[in-house]
Amino acid sequence: MNAVSKWKIGHLGCPPQLKRVSRDVGVALLLLIAAAPQSWAWGREGHRLTALVAEQYLTPETQAQIAELLHKETIADIASWADAYRMDHPETAKWHFVDIPKSAEKFDRDRDCPLSEKDPKSPWRDCVTDRILYFEGRLGDTSLPPSERAMALKFLVHLIGDIHQPFHALGDDRGGNDIHVQFLGSRQCGRYDCNLHGVWDESIIEEQGLSEKKYTERLLQEIKDNHWERMSGGQPTLWANVSHHYAVDAYAPDGALLTHEYVDAESKVVDAELALGGLRLAHVLNRILGASATPESQPGRTALPKPASDSAPR
């Protein structure tokens, strides 16, 4: 599909009342927008779907270890925990994404992953690719107290979901948060003005009109139909590069009208990333906590997934 055909350019612009505010108030509004729930990774449902897929691929050993760490909660229950945690711990905000420029071909750690604000001498930097590896190490460190390993598990479940949201691997326009759009003719997405990042977080998923159970079943069926189990391996930098590719392909200009054609095309990518995020989360947890559930995995595989309902490569 030609990228130009995915949307029509509208004349969204700024509401008149915003044009009258002072520069200082405008900055304050931007800060509020940055903290709004729809600007964070997958929404609650997207994170739950990733975790629900992962649960189907966990080994009994891994399930037992998770139960010891989380007690009565499941990984689906805690999938959005890190978003709530960052409200009181803003130093963790940069852990949820990586700012790869739209013009760049791939991730560059020195350019895209800043030194830790809290500890500039730390070997671990403030971006999602580094922090996934950091929390992998902490989850696997049995010398740590169970509470700290449980926190590492919670972060891992969330951040592996984050890195599979394409606009968490794009630095331009704050990952699409600054791109105002009309979604299927509406400027309002729930309680918030529509922006490109928020559309990918929640609106495309909600537009499918599926219950959580039905959506999970669809993702599991697509995994089987497309033999995506073989793509459950790889490293965070690989996942970020694939997400970045998708974000660049799905990028829309400010004021764009996102049509049904756009949603139909990009919902296939959303499903692929939710499904692969779940598979890779399970692969990581099985590797750390139990025997691997996906022996046919091919770590390092770089091919993009081809959705079941899309016969041609994107």
Q: Are 47 and 160 in contact (CB under 8 A)?
A: no
- How far is C-alpha 228 from the geometric centre of its chain's CA atoms? 18
- Assigned fold of 3-289: P1 Nuclease (1.10.575)
Residue whose entry in the numeric block shows the structure tokens 């697509």: 222
Average pLDDT value over all residues in the chain:
84
Amino acid 17: pLDDT? 33
Give per-residue pLDDT as tens, 207-230. 999 999 999 999 999 999 999 999
Strands 7-9 and 256-258: antiparallel
- Over residues 44-69, the mean pLDDT reads 97
Q: Which of 11-15, 68-72, 235-239 has the lowest mean pLDDT?
A: 11-15
Give per-residue pLDDT as tens, 244-296. 999 999 999 999 999 999 999 999 999 999 999 999 999 999 999 995 434 33
The DSSP secondary structure of 62-98, one letter per residue, reads: HHHHHHHHHTT--TTTTTTHHHHHHHH-GGGGGGG--
| Residue 152 in this model has a pLDDT that exceeds 80 | yes
| Angle value at C-alpha 103, between 99 and 106, nearest 5 degrees | 60
For residues 135 and 154, give the distance between their C-alpha atoms in angstroms, rounded to a whole number.
Answer: 9
Amino acid 97: pLDDT? 98
| Residue 103 in this model has a pLDDT that exceeds 60 | yes
